[in-house]
Amino acid sequence: MKELDPFILLVVFQEMLGPLLWLLLAVVVLGLLAFAALLVREKKLVSYRLVRSEVLGIVGGVLALVLMAQVSSSGFTDAGGPVDWFLIALVFGIGLAGSTILFYTMAGWWSVWRQSSTAANVQ
């Protein structure tokens, strides 16, 4: 394979993940849109929420590794060279970053919703 064709990658991921691929892509797109909307609304990052989300992001990284092991035909004991370990670290990092963004977004919108419902109950 001399060229990197995005359509080929899409077909390979579709074969590996099946319908889960489209669910994961929808979560990514909707999560990023919700994150961007939250940043526009708050105009800042809330540090305590970010730190908590980073800690929970470790769980997301581990779950990404579990998903990788489930959909591939090999396990972690089959990793032999540096490229294999780099791929494992990359999968963990993407899972960590993605879940950190999702946890931060969910906590932010939960805080917005809670404040608006509390203000409505006071009036």
For 32-84, give the DSSP string.
HHHHHHHHHHHSS--HHHHHHHHHHHHHHHHHHHHHHHHHSS--GGG--SHHH
pLDDT tens-place string over residues 48-82: 999 999 999 999 999 999 988 888 877 666 777 78
Which pair of tokens denotes residue 49? 């929420």
Residue 122: predicted pLDDT: 67
* Nearest CA-CA partner of 107 in 70, 55, 67, 69: 55
How far lies 111's CA from each of 102, 115, 116, in Å? 14, 6, 9
* 1 in a structural domain: no
pTM, two decimals, is 0.82
* 81 in a structural domain: yes
The structural domain count of the chain equals 1
Domain encompassing residue 39: 6-122
* pLDDT above 60 (res 1): no
* 18 in a structural domain: yes
